C-alpha cells in the first residue's frame, strides 16, 4: 500500500471514528436508537476534526507505540508497516481468511475464538511479562446488563472489541476505552430450551461481518460496523431442543457452527454457512443415519434422538484443509439401556473436510457414555517431535494426544481424579470398568457429570511446551431410570448428584506436559472454577476463579504474580490484544467485561 493510499484510508477512518465517538448528546442529532445505547443512531454524524487527524497520527507515532511496545509488537509493526498499523488500529481493514490463517503476524489482534486456528489461546504479546505483571491495573469495565453466566471470549480486531453475552447479546467496544459502538440483542421466543443457562460463548468475524449462533437455533450475521442484521438463517427447530451457544469458526468463506441440545435428545450436527449470503453449504450429522457408516453403533431407532451435539468451537488446519470439531454426549445422557453400541459419533473428535463437511477420520474418547461426558473440549493443534498432534484434556478425566494426520491415539493419561477406567484397549484408549455404569439407586463415579474439565478453554504455550487447563476433582452419584422420549423435553434418563462422601470438591489450574502426560505444576483454587486459561509471550498464564479473582501466574512455576478482584465469578476464558501499542488482557466476570494493562 502506498503512503498516499494509506492517508486516504486514514481520512475515511477518521470520518467513522468521529461519527462513532462524538457524544450523541452533544450532536443534537436524532436517529433510530437501538437498545440501551444512548443515541445509537448516529450514522448521519458529521466529520469534525478531519483536518486535525494527521497531526494526531504523527503525535501518536512519535510518542506512542514505537517507544514502549514489547518486541513482538515491534515485529508486528515492522511487518505491517507503520501506516498499515495506523489504519488497522482504526478498525477499517477487512478480516480476510488470509489474515485468520496468518494471525500470528498480527499478535495485536485476537480474531478467532481461541486466538488462532490451532486453538492454542496463546498471545505472543510480551509487553506485560513476569517482570511487570505485578503492576497491572484495570483499564476499563463494560457492563453487559445481562444476568447469569457470562461465558464470552471476546474478539479484538484493529482497535474494536467484539463480544457476546447472555440472551444472545452482541456488542462492539472501543478497545481502548470500553465505550460501546453498537449493541445487538435478539428477541428470543419465550419457550426456548437452553440446557445450561441462556449463555453464549462468543462470535466469529470474517470480512465485514460478525456471526452469532442463537438460543433459538438461528445463525445470524451482523454488520461489524453497526450491529445491523445482514442475514438470519434457521438451523433447526428450537422447540425440539436445538440451540446454539458456541462461538462459530470462520473458515475460508464459511461460518462453521455446531449445535447444542444433548440434554433434549436432538440429532447433533455441524453446519457451514456461506458468510456472504447465509446459504447453508454443508451439514455433517454427528449421528449417522441409515446406510451411513457408524449407524450400526445405535440400537434400533435410538439414533434419532442420539444427541452428540457439537457445542464448543473446533480448530482448523490450513495445511490439510481439515476442521477438527469435538462432539458431546449421546442421549439420554444417564441411560445406556436402549442405545446399545458405541453410539458414534458421540464424544468424538471429527476431522472434516472444510469445503464439503465430509469426514476424514474420527476418534471416540468415551464409548457408549452414560455420564454426560461430552468430549467438547477444545482440540488443540500442537507440533512436537516433528509430529502434527492434537492434544485434548477430556471431560472424562484423561488427557489425550492424537496424531492429527490420521486420528490415531498416541497417549491417554489421567490428569484428575478418575475411577471409571482401570484398563486400556489395544489402541491405548481408557475403557470403562463394570463399576461405572449408573444404577437406579445410584453409583458414585469420578469424575462427576461436570467432568474433570468442561467448556473452559485451555491454552498451549509453545515456549514452555505446556498445556494449561482448568480441572476439577468431584465425584457424583449417577442414577438411571427409564424415561420415554418426548420432543422438547429434557431427556437425561435420570440424574446425577454430588457425592456426599467426596465433598468438598477441589479445583485446579494444571500444567500438563503433552510429551509425558505428567502434571508439571498445579495451583489449587479455593473452589472449582469455570474460567478458561490464556498463555502469553510474557511468560504468563492468566485465569480467573469462582471467587471473582483474575490471576496472572508464572507459566513456568504456577506461582501467582498478580491478582485483581472483579466482584463476580468467572465463566469465561481470557484473551489478549494490543491497541495503540499497549497490551491488554481481557476477561468476562460477573456481568461485565474487564480489560487490564500496565499503568
Partner 1 sequence: MFRAGCMGLLALAMLRIGANADDRNPLAGTAKAAKAGEYEFRINCALCHGLGAHGGGRGPDLTRAVKKHAHSDAEMFQVISNGIPGTAMPANGTNGQGVGMTDEEIWQIITYLRSQEVKVPANAKGNAARGKDLFYGDANCSLCHMVAGKGGRLGPDLTAVGGSRTREAIIDSVRNPSRRLAWGLTEATKEFPQEYESVTVVTADGKQIKGITLNEDSFSVQIMDTSEQIHLLEKDNLKSFQKSRQSAMPTYGTDFLSDKDLEDIVAYLSSVGAK
The residues carrying an active-site annotation are 372
* Whether the Cβ atoms of residue 298 and residue 341 lie closer than 8 Å to each other: yes
> Among residues 483, 502, 520, 580, which is the contact residue for partner 1, using CB under 8 A?
483
Whichever of 382 and 509 has its CB closer to partner 1, that residue is 509
* Whether the Cβ atoms of residue 289 and residue 297 lie closer than 8 Å to each other: no
- The phi, psi pair for 535, rounded to 5°, reads -115, 155
Residue 193 CA to residue 179 CA, distance in Å, equals 32
Whichever of 48 and 134 has its CB closer to partner 1, that residue is 134
Residue 492 CA to residue 483 CA, distance in Å, equals 8
Whichever of 120 and 335 has its CB closer to partner 1, that residue is 335
Whichever of 228 and 437 has its CB closer to partner 1, that residue is 437
Contact between 527 and partner 1 by CB under 8 A: the answer reads: yes
Give me the least distance between CB of 546 and partner 1, in Å please.
6
Residue 327 CA to residue 152 CA, distance in Å, equals 20
Residue 223 CA to residue 229 CA, distance in Å, equals 6
Which range binds partner 1 by CB under 8 A, 49-57, 85-93, 411-419, 520-528? Answer: 520-528
Give me the least distance between CB of 196 and partner 1, in Å please.
7
Whichever of 194 and 306 has its CB closer to partner 1, that residue is 194
- The phi, psi pair for 513, rounded to 5°, reads -85, 110
Give me the least distance between CB of 257 and partner 1, in Å please.
21
> Among residues 489, 513, 554, 598, which is the contact residue for partner 1, using CB under 8 A?
489
Contact between 531 and partner 1 by CB under 8 A: the answer reads: no
Contact between 34 and partner 1 by CB under 8 A: the answer reads: no
* Whether the Cβ atoms of residue 127 and residue 261 lie closer than 8 Å to each other: no
* Whether the Cβ atoms of residue 589 and residue 566 lie closer than 8 Å to each other: yes
* Whether the Cβ atoms of residue 326 and residue 259 lie closer than 8 Å to each other: no
How far is CA 528 from each of CA 449, 473, 489, rounded to the nearest angstrom?
A: 14, 8, 30
DSSP string computed for 389-404 = EEEEE-TTSEEEEEET
Residue 553 CA to residue 453 CA, distance in Å, equals 19
How far is CA 203 from each of CA 208, 219, 448, 585, rounded to the nearest angstrom?
A: 13, 11, 30, 18
> Among residues 31, 35, 84, 197, which is the contact residue for partner 1, using CB under 8 A?
197
Other residues' Cβ atoms within 10 Å of the Cβ of residue 329: 29
Give me the least distance between CB of 480 and partner 1, in Å please.
10
Question: Three cell numbers at 310?
Answer: 457439537
> Among residues 82, 101, 141, 195, which is the contact residue for partner 1, using CB under 8 A?
195
Residue 387 CA to residue 11 CA, distance in Å, equals 48
Residue 539: HSE in the Cβ half-sphere, 13 Å Cα cutoff: 13
Give me the least distance between CB of 505 and partner 1, in Å please.
9
Contact between 145 and partner 1 by CB under 8 A: the answer reads: no
Contact between 295 and partner 1 by CB under 8 A: the answer reads: no
* Whether the Cβ atoms of residue 255 and residue 272 lie closer than 8 Å to each other: yes
Of residues 534-573, those binding partner 1 (CB under 8 A): 545-549, 551, 560, 563, 565, 569
* Whether the Cβ atoms of residue 53 and residue 10 lie closer than 8 Å to each other: yes
Which range binds partner 1 by CB under 8 A, 102-110, 385-393, 428-436, 499-507? Answer: 499-507
Give me the least distance between CB of 554 and partner 1, in Å please.
15
CB-based contacts of 75: which residues, under 8 Å, 6+ apart? none
In 3-state terms, what secondary structure has residue 207?
strand
Whichever of 194 and 326 has its CB closer to partner 1, that residue is 194
Whichever of 39 and 528 has its CB closer to partner 1, that residue is 528
Give me the least distance between CB of 346 and partner 1, in Å please.
18
Whichever of 386 and 484 has its CB closer to partner 1, that residue is 484
> Among residues 490, 502, 556, 598, which is the contact residue for partner 1, using CB under 8 A?
490
Whichever of 237 and 486 has its CB closer to partner 1, that residue is 486
Q: What character string, x for contact with partner 1 (CB under 8 A) and - otherwise, covers 424-463?
A: ------------------x---------------------
Residue 577 CA to residue 162 CA, distance in Å, equals 12
Contact between 522 and partner 1 by CB under 8 A: the answer reads: no
In 3-state terms, what secondary structure has residue 485?
coil
Of residues 246-275, those binding partner 1 (CB under 8 A): 263-264
Other residues' Cβ atoms within 10 Å of the Cβ of residue 121: 30
Which range binds partner 1 by CB under 8 A, 194-202, 295-303, 340-348, 354-362? Answer: 194-202
Contact residues: partner 1, CB under 8 A: 148-149, 191, 193-198, 263-264, 442, 479, 481, 483, 486, 488-490, 492, 494-495, 497-498, 500, 503-504, 525-528, 530, 545-549, 551, 560, 563, 565, 569
Amino acid at each position: 500500500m502506498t503512503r498516499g493510499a494509506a492517508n486516504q484510508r486514514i481520512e475515511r477512518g477518521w470520518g467513522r471514528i468521529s461519527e462513532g465517538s462524538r457524544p450523541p448528546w452533544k450532536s443534537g442529532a436524532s436517529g433510530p436508537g437501538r437498545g440501551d445505547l444512548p443515541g445509537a443512531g448516529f450514522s448521519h454524524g458529521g466529520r469534525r476534526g478531519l483536518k486535525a487527524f494527521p497531526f494526531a497520527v504523527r503525535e501518536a507515532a512519535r510518542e506512542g507505540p514505537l517507544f514502549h511496545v514489547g518486541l513482538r509488537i515491534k515485529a508486528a509493526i515492522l511487518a505491517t508497516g507503520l501506516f498499515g498499523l495506523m489504519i488497522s488500529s482504526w478498525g477499517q481493514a477487512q478480516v480476510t481468511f488470509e489474515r485468520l490463517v496468518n494471525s500470528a503476524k498480527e499478535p495485536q489482534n485476537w480474531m478467532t475464538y481461541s486466538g488462532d486456528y490451532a486453538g492454542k489461546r496463546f498471545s505472543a504479546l510480551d509487553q506485560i511479562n513476569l517482570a511487570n505483571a505485578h503492576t497491572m491495573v484495570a483499564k476499563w469495565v463494560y457492563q453487559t446488563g445481562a444476568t447469569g453466566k457470562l461465558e464470552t471470549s471476546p474478539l479484538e480486531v484493529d482497535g474494536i472489541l467484539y463480544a457476546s453475552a447472555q440472551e444472545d447479546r452482541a456488542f462492539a467496544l472501543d478497545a481502548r476505552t470500553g465505550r460501546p459502538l453498537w449493541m445487538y440483542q435478539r428477541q428470543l421466543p419465550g419457550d426456548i430450551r437452553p440446557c445450561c443457562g441462556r449463555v453464549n460463548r462468543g462470535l466469529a468475524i470474517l470480512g465485514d461481518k460478525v456471526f452469532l449462533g442463537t438460543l433459538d437455533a438461528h445463525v445470524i450475521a451482523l454488520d461489524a460496523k453497526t450491529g445491523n442484521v445482514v442475514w438470519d438463517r434457521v438451523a433447526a427447530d428450537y422447540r425440539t431442543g436445538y440451540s446454539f451457544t458456541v462461538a462459530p469458526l470462520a473458515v475460508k468463506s464459511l461460518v462453521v457452527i455446531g449445535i447444542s441440545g444433548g440434554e433434549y435428545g436432538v440429532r447433533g450436527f455441524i453446519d457451514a454457512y456461506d458468510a456472504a449470503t447465509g446459504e447453508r453449504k454443508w451439514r455433517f450429522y454427528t449421528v449417522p443415519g441409515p446406510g451411513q457408516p457408524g449407524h450400526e453403533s445405535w440400537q434400533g431407532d435410538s439414533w434419532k434422538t442420539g444427541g452428540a451435539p457439537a457445542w464448543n468451537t473446533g480448530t482448523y488446519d490450513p495445511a490439510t484443509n481439515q476442521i477438527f470439531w469435538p462432539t458431546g454426549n449421546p442421549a439420554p445422557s444417564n441411560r445406556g439401556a436402549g442405545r446399545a453400541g458405541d453410539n458414534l459419533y458421540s464424544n468424538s473428535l471429527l476431522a472434516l473436510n472444510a469445503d464439503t463437511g465430509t469426514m476424514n477420520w474420527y476418534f471416540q474418547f468415551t464409548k457408549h457414555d452414560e455420564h454426560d461426558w461430552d468430549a467438547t473440549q477444545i482440540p488443540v493443534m500442537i507440533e512436537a517431535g516433528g509430529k502434527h498432534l492434537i492434544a485434548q484434556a477430556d471431560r472424562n478425566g484423561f488427557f489425550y494426544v492424537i496424531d492429527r494426520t490420521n486420528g490415531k491415539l498416541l497417549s491417554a493419561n489421567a490428569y484428575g481424579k478418575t475411577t471409571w477406567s482401570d484398563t486400556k484397549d489395544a489402541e491405548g484408549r481408557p475403557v470403562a470398568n463394570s463399576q461405572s455404569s449408573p444404577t437406579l439407586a445410584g453409583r458414585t463415579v469420578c469424575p462427576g457429570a461436570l467432568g474433570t474439565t468442561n467448556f473452559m478453554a485451555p491454552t498451549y504455550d509453545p515456549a514452555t511446551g505446556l498445556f494449561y487447563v482448568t480441572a476439577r476433582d468431584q465425584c457424583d452419584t449417577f442414577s438411571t431410570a427409564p424415561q420415554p422420549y418426548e420432543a422438547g423435553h429434557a431427556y437425561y434418563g435420570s440424574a446425577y448428584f454430588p457425592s456426599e462422601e467426596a465433598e468438598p470438591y477441589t479445583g485446579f489450574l494444571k500444567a500438563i506436559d503433552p510429551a509425558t502426560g505428567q502434571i508439571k505444576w498445579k495451583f489449587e483454587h479455593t473452589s472449582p472454577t469455570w474460567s478458561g486459561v490464556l498463555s502469553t509471550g510474557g511468560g504468563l498464564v492468566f485465569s480467573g476463579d469462582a471467587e471473582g479473582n483474575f490471576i496472572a501466574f508464572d507459566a513456568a512455576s504456577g506461582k501467582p504474580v498478580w491478582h485483581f478482584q472483579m466482584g463476580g465469578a468467572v465463566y469465561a476464558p481470557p484473551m489478549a490484544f494490543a491497541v495503540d501499542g499497549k497490551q491488554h488482557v481481557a476477561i468476562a466476570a460477573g456481568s461485565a467485561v474487564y480489560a487490564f494493562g500496565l499503568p
